[in-house]
């Protein structure tokens, strides 16, 4: 039935588009949103058994209806829907912030900090050096840029190499019903790393001069204002929760819009503000469950549209000459993530390794493969700050995300089963 | 970003309106009237902040409002007690035919002096005038059935309106239509109802949670309503009948779906009022003449059949309330067609309805 439904939608949409029955841009946009919601969602349900994350399946569907395969997505309409990018960025940051539980971090702080520290140092250094040495051979779209610009790109690449989304990690843990010290520690590291990166990225963007303010005092002021704005928004959400209980998702949509507008006017950092809001609600209010549910409801719709459009706008021609670079970076990243884990574990255990520590050394690397979530949010920012190569850069990052989305979740799932902390869904 | 400002404004007003609606914060004036006033004020007649013709991204919201409210109206029509369907159907047929006849004859007669409307406009305005829903029909001697009959009567009245609109819609938008084209439109409409009802039923049964349900619901409403506009078929009647089919075939899942849907009913209705009001035209003197005529004819068209029924069931009591939600869905649906001819009669209907609503509201409050 689902296949029949998708075929029906494709035929009807193709007919309405091909015969230009839709000569009203508003109606064209409407039918396209309806088509995307229904078909992308149904497509992800059909391929549910592949165990791929839904966001990957939405992207694949976008590629299928995009210009390189079926070519049935009108370009003007896709442009009209690009406003969804910034909403996605905020939703991801809200979710990441709300996943950070202070109590858990405190209990495992030593291991979490040491492993995160070594992973950041190793992965950043290797990818930064790789980009500086091989620059246009690694990233063909930066050919002809000045040394200063290549340095900036190398810094961003280095930090993007570190980023790992907690979303897919949480999805796999949830699916396998995993519970135990191995799973908890990995989740802690992933979230801690995510938050560290979220705090570091605004600083990096400011330092490399994307906002035009290079003064450390101004950077500090912007960070303080962003944190303050985040707390204030968290405060507003907390107090509005009682009155707006049934409309919390809608209210978060409105709040996201206000944050986007404020960031434009007062130079507030979007990511930092949203992550602080999520963090504040999780740790300092009693509405974290409602907030988490509302933001997940909102994310559900936003992700369908965002990732389908992502697939449509994916420049597959760039992938032809970037595929090797994508794999080189991903392999090096995995190796040096593992080195970081090894050193972190060894430093915390001078004597003989327990089963839990050997499991960490054997399987923990599988949790750091996935790149979706924050990487995409940062790719959106890079596209805005560096319009000259932003689209190609974004495509490159999305290519990495797609590859890791194919490999990461199945490997992490395998690792969880191997450690005995999770089970396969019957 | 201007389009987004408008969408955010609609959302904010819908949320605040719903909160006021639920809490009854404002007692001295009906919230519907406030929303209509705000809609007119931010529309092209006022600040021109909300203008469908200038803001492409509002269209999906309008389509969602039209399709979803038509669907919800149909979804509420569930045949729980099949024994009373036949008598209530007979009663509604009588009610509707008498009302329509009175409305048509009165409009036709008055128009021959005033010469304000053409024949097509008279037909539309007479159909609207004879739609007296929800009609409260309370039989004292059969108290057990009173609420069910009341519910069925109001819904049958709606079925009549949506059925008539289904058949006259192609003629409203294209008066040069030949017979074979008309038959094609009707067949296409029936095919659409059947196909999307099957899909809606299948996916509603398969949905695991409210996220799954709403993705399919919003997707089908937007896609199908827009599709209807593209192929010039009637979206509201189609969505209304899909709603009826779903509610009567879904079985035990009905309560679950009803629970999901009831949460969005108020915001949808307020958004609908807001946008419908933004289309209002008040700068033409003829509008007020038509409006006054409509006001009196509509009251006559409601009261006369009520009196006849009252005499027939002399131990019973019959009551009527003003036209509500569904009428605005139909008005907005027709307004979106952009036909000046049709829009000329829609604004007067809204104005007359506001007046009737205020009178009804004052009368109800005086009872308290």
Question: What pLDDT shows up at residue B26?
Answer: 52
Portion of chain B with pLDDT greater than 70, in percent:
71
pLDDT of residue A173 exceeding 80, the answer is no
**Neighbour-count burial for B71-91, b at 16+ CB within 10 Å, e otherwise:** bbbbbbbbeeeeebeeebeeb
Of the listed ranges A141-145, A225-229, A261-265, the one predicted with least confidence: A261-265
Rounded distance, CA B56 to CA A22, Å? 13
Asked if A257 reaches chain B (Cβ–Cβ under 8 Å), the answer is: yes
pLDDT score recorded for residue B51: 64
**Interface contact B147, partner A, CB < 8 A:** no
Q: Report the alpha-carbon distance of residue A306 to residue A82 in Å, rounded.
A: 8
Q: Assess contact for B19 and A247: CB atoms under 8 A.
A: no
Over residues A111-120, the pLDDT tens digits come to 888 888 888 8
Residues of A in contact with B11 (CB under 8 A): 250, 253-254
Q: Which domains, from first to last, does chain B contain?
A: 57-367 (1.20.1530)
**Top-confidence residue, A371 or A291:** A291
- When comparing pLDDT for A199 and A325, which is higher? A325
Q: CA nearest A17 in B: which residue? A: B230
Check residue B134 and give its pLDDT.
39
Whether residue B11 lies within 8 A of chain A, CB to CB, comes out as: yes
Q: According to the model, what pLDDT value does residue B155 have?
A: 66
Residue B315 has pLDDT above 50, yes or no: no
Q: What is the mean pLDDT of residues B171-191?
A: 80
Reply yes or no on whether the pLDDT at B148 is more than 60.
no
Residue B320 pLDDT greater than 60, yes or no: no
Backbone phi and psi for residue B317, each to the nearest 5 degrees, phi listed first: -140, 130
Domains of chain A: 2-80 (no CATH), 87-419 (1.20.1530.20)
Instruction: Pick the closest to residue B269 from B31, B60, B28 (CA basis).
Output: B31
Q: Where do runs of H (alpha helix) occur along chain B?
A: 2-23, 31-42, 59-75, 85-114, 119-129, 143-173, 179-206, 210-230, 235-249, 254-278, 285-312, 325-335, 340-367
CA distance B238 to A76: 29
ipTM surpasses cut 0.85:
no
Asked whether the bond before B134 is cis by omega within 30 degrees of 0, the reply is yes
Identify whether the C-beta of residue B268 lies closer than 8 Å to the C-beta of residue B65: yes
Query: What is the rounded radius of gyration, in angstroms, for the C-alpha atoms of chain B?
Result: 20
Count how many Cα atoms sit within 13 Å of the Cα of residue A92 in the half-sphere of its side chain: 30
**Pick from A36, A210, A262, A390: which is nearest to B223 by CA?**
A36
Confirm or reject contact between B223 and chain A (CB < 8 A).
yes
Supply the mean pLDDT for chain B: 74
pLDDT of B154 reads 64
Q: Does B145 have pLDDT greater than 60?
A: no
Q: What is the pTM of this model?
A: 0.76
% of chain A exceeding 70 in pLDDT: 86
Residue B180 pLDDT grade (very low, low, confident, very high; cuts 50, 70, 90): confident
Residue B242: pLDDT above 80?
A: yes
The residues in A 40-79 lying below 8 A from B, measured between CB atoms, are 41
Q: pLDDT exceeding 90 applies to what percent of chain A? A: 0
pLDDT(B309) > 70:
no
Mean of the pLDDT values across residues A262-273? 74
pLDDT value at A363 more than 60: yes
Question: Residue A18: its pLDDT value, please?
Answer: 55
Least confident of A322-336, A346-360, B24-38: B24-38
Residue B233 pLDDT: 80
pLDDT for position B324: 57
Please report which helix (H) or strand (E) contains residue B320, including its range.
Answer: strand B317-320
- Whether residue B149 is predicted with pLDDT greater than 80 in this model: the reply is no
pLDDT at residue number A382: 78
Q: Tell me the three state secondary structure of residue A208.
A: coil
The residue assigned the tokens 């149909």 is B74
Give the lowest-confidence range in A6-10, A194-198, A342-346, B226-230: A194-198
Residue A39 confidence (pLDDT) above 80:
yes
Mean pLDDT along residues A335-340? 87
**B137 beta partners:** B318
Mean pLDDT across the stretch B337-365? 74
Given a cut of 80, is residue B77 above it in pLDDT? no
pLDDT of residue B65: 81
Residue A234: per-residue pLDDT: 87
Look at residue A71 and give its three-state secondary structure: coil
Minimal Cα distance from A248: which residue of B?
Answer: B15
Q: A80 near B60, Cβ under 8 Å? A: no
Q: How far is the CA of B209 from the CAs of A177, B193, B251, B260, B262, in angstroms? A: 19, 25, 17, 10, 15
CB A141 within 8 A of CB A388: no
* CA distances to B44, B51, B61 from B7, in Å: 16, 11, 8
The answer to whether B60 faces chain A, any CB pair under 8 Å, is yes
SS3 A145: coil
At residue B236, the pLDDT reads 82
Predicted local distance difference test score (pLDDT) of residue A167:
65
Chosen for mutation from A1, A21, A23, A31 (greatest number of chain B CBs closer than 10 Å) is A31
Residue A72 and residue A14 in contact, taking contact as beta carbons nearer than 8 Å: yes
Whether chain B has a CB inside 8 Å of the CB on A10: the answer is no
Q: Which residue has the tokens 């008309």?
A: B182
Q: Are B58 and B6 in contact (CB under 8 A)?
A: yes
- Give me the residues of A, 308-347, that contact B with CB < 8 A: none
- Is the CB of residue B120 less than 8 Å from the CB of residue B172? yes
Average pLDDT over residues B209-224: 85
Residue B139 has pLDDT above 50, yes or no: no
How far apart (Å, rounded) are the C-alpha atoms in residues B221 and B136?
30
B292 pLDDT tier (thresholds 50, 70, 90) = confident
């Amino acid at each position: 039935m689902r296949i029949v439904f998708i075929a029906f939608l494709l035929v009807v949409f193709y007919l309405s588009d091909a015969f230009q029955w839709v000569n009203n841009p508003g109606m064209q946009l409407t039918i396209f949103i309806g088509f995307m919601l229904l078909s992308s969602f149904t497509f992800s349900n059909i391929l549910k058994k592949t165990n791929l994350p839904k966001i990957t399946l939405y992207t694949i569907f976008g590629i299928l209806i995009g210009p390189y395969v079926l070519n049935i997505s009108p370009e003007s309409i896709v442009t009209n829907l690009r406003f969804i990018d910034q909403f996605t960025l905020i939703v991801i940051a809200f979710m990441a912030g709300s996943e950070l539980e202070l109590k858990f971090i405190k209990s495992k702080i030593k291991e979490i900090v040491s492993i995160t520290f070594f992973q950041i140092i190793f992965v950043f250094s290797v990818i930064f050096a790789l980009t500086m040495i091989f620059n246009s051979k690694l990233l063909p779209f930066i050919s002809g840029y000045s040394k200063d610009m290549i340095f900036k790109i190398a810094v961003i690449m280095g930090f993007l190499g570190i980023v790992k989304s907690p979303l897919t990690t949480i999805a796999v843990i949830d699916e396998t019903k995993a519970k135990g010290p191995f799973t908890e520690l990995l989740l802690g590291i992933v979230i801690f790393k995510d938050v560290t990166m979220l705090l570091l990225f605004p600083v990096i963007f400011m330092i490399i001069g994307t906002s035009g303010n290079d003064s450390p005092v101004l950077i500090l002021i912007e960070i303080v204002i962003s944190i303050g704005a985040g707390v204030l928004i968290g405060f507003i959400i907390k107090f509005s929760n009682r009155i707006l209980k049934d409309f919390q998702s809608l209210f978060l949509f409105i709040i996201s819009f206000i944050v986007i507008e404020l960031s434009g006017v007062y130079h507030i950092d979007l990511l930092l503000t949203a992550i602080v809001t999520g963090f504040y609600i999780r740790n300092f209010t009693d509405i974290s469950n409602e907030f988490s549910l509302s933001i997940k409801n909102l994310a559900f719709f936003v992700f369908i549209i965002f990732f389908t459009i992502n697939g449509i706008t994916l420049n597959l021609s760039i992938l032809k000459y970037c595929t090797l670079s994508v794999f080189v970076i991903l392999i090096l990243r995995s190796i040096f993530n593992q080195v970081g884990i090894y050193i972190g574990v060894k430093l915390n255990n001078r004597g003989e390794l327990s089963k839990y520590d050997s499991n960490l050394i054997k399987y923990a690397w599988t949790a750091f493969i996935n790149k979706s979530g924050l990487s995409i949010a940062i790719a959106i920012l890079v596209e805005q700050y560096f319009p000259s190569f932003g689209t190609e850069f974004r495509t490159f990052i999305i290519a990495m995300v797609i590859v890791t989305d194919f490999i990461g979740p199945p490997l992490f799932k395998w690792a969880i089963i191997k450690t005995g902390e999770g089970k396969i869904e019957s | 970003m201007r389009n987004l400002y408008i969408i955010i404004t609609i959302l904010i007003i819908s949320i605040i309106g719903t909160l006021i609606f639920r809490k009854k914060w404002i007692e001295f004036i009906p919230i519907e009237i406030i929303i209509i006033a705000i809609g007119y004020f931010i529309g092209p007649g006022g600040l021109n902040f909300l203008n469908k013709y200038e803001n492409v991204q509002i269209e999906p919201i309008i389509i969602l409002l039209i399709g979803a409210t038509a669907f919800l109206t149909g979804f509420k029509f569930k045949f729980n007690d099949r024994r009373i369907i036949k008598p209530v159907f007979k009663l509604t047929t009588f009610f509707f035919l008498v009302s329509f006849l009175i409305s048509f004859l009165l409009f036709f007669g008055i128009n021959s002096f005033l010469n304000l409307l053409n024949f097509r406009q008279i037909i539309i305005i007479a159909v609207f005038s004879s739609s007296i829903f929800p009609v409260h029909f309370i039989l004292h001697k059969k108290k057990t059935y009173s609420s069910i009959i009341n519910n069925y009567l109001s819904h049958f009245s709606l079925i009549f309106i949506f059925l008539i609109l289904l058949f006259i819609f192609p003629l409203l938008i294209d008066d040069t239509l030949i017979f074979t084209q008309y038959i094609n439109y009707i067949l296409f409409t029936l095919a659409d109802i059947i196909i999307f009802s099957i899909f809606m039923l299948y996916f509603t049964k398969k949905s695991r949670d409210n996220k799954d349900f709403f993705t399919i619901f919003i997707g089908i409403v937007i896609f199908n309503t827009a599709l209807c506009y593209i192929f010039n078929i009637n979206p509201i009647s189609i969505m209304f009948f899909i709603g009826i089919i779903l509610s009567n075939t879904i079985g035990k899942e009905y309560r679950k779906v009803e629970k999901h849907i009831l949460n969005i009913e108020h915001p949808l209705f307020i958004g609908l009022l807001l946008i419908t009001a933004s289309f209002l035209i008040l700068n033409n003197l003829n509008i007020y003449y038509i409006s006054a005529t409509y006001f009196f004819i509509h009251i006559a068209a409601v009261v006369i059949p009520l009196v006849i029924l009252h005499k027939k069931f002399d131990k019973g009591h019959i009551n009527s309330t003003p036209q509500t939600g569904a009428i605005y869905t139909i008005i907005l649906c027709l307004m979106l067609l952009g036909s000046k001819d049709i829009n000329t009669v829609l604004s007067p209907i809204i104005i007359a309805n506001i007046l009737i609503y205020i009178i009804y509201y004052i009368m109800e409050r005086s009872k308290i």
